[in-house]
Amino acid sequence: MDTDRDLLPEGLEDRLPASAACAARLTRSVLDVLDTHGYDRVQPPSIEFEKSMASRMAGVQPRRMFRFVDPASLRTLALRSDITVQVGRMAATGLAGAARPLRLCYQGHVLTIKGDGLNPARERLQIGAELIGSDSVAAAGEIVAVAIAALQAAGATGISVDFTLPDLVDTLAAKAIPLAADKIEAVRRELDAKDAGALVAAGGEAYLPLLTAIGPFDSAIERLAAIDAGGALSSRIAALREIAARVGPMARLTLDPSERHGFEYQSWFGFTLYAEGLSGAIGRGGTYAILGAAGAPSEPAIGFSLYPDELIDTLTDTGAARDTLFLPLGHDAAAAGKLREAGWRTVAALCADCDAKALGCTHQLDGTDAVAL
């Protein structure tokens, strides 16, 4: 016998009815919030030429993508690992003439060759929004506020936002705390790892004070401002304060200015989203640049991506069963149709022996009325 014909590959899983219904409701709720804030939905394909996805933004990692040769063009194709880069392509091509700032949103599944850290999942639901044509403080404030509102609509509670400055080391190394070019990457890495000893060994002893500017936003931003005596970060610190003033009433705010993991293509501002009861980040976002064609200037943008699979699992476990109306044989079809129009979910009997409760029904149609079982 073929004992493994029904196995799924590692990191992939089915969503059964209750979970799939929860995922659909959550996705609809988030997209509705994005629509009310003026973000138009787009739907890129799940497969593109590898070159297109790998070259649209700095920091994209093609080695994480599933790749194969297209028998029609004989060029390498890739399954998307991030929808953001596809939206960037759409903005730079088909929507190049659209008015800026351009607000777009999306939802779909992304796949990677291997999972991240302790999470073995290789396929994830990604829902997000991109504001293209501006990476200003006002744009950043809007994106963070919309991300929080979307999570709240999805059913997340206890939301917290962790701010970071992805280009922190580059900004300081240029003048305020000079670093040799061959040491910048190592200093970035050890700051991200919060390893003081390795940071000193990498030649970044002067960067040690940055490890103290971590924690609740109000106190951490004051420590960062005290470190930045030369003023190299003054504009960024002012921007963080302005963003925090806008979204502070909506969520708990923290600061980790040296955080780098997950911000490979972000520029001056990044943020990570967390929610109560979830083990890891539920989303992240920040500013970035969409690379233009050869000789064309890059375009600034800011956006966020949510990865709500764990939230869906949590809400599925705690979600109440939906009221469902059983329609016996010979029922009044017109009455059933009116009840569906009123919002009822119905299940019709196909035989005399159909068991309403076994089919998950909570009510039964009696004439024109719904009667609780």
Q: Convert the pLDDT of each residue in 340-365 to its tens digit.
A: 999 999 999 999 999 999 999 999 99
Over the chain, what is the mean pLDDT?
A: 92
Tell me what the mean pLDDT of segment 136-145 comes to: 98
For the cut 70, the answer to whether the pLDDT of residue 2 exceeds it is no
Q: Residue 189: name the closest of 171, 209, 203 by CA.
A: 203
Residue type present at position 196:
A
pLDDT at site 331: 95
For the cut 90, the answer to whether the pLDDT of residue 263 exceeds it is no
Which pTM was predicted?
Answer: 0.91
pLDDT at site 293: 65
Q: Convert the pLDDT of each residue in 203-253 to its tens digit.
A: 999 999 999 999 999 999 999 999 886 888 999 999 999 999 999 999 999
Q: Are strands 299-306 and 123-132 parallel, antiparallel or unpaired?
A: antiparallel
For the cut 80, the answer to whether the pLDDT of residue 268 exceeds it is yes
pLDDT at site 52: 84
Confidence at 283, pLDDT banded by 50, 70, 90: very high
| Other beta carbons less than 10 A from residue 123's beta carbon | 16
Q: Convert the pLDDT of each residue in 65-94 to its tens digit.
A: 899 999 999 999 999 999 999 999 999 999
| Other beta carbons less than 10 A from residue 239's beta carbon | 20
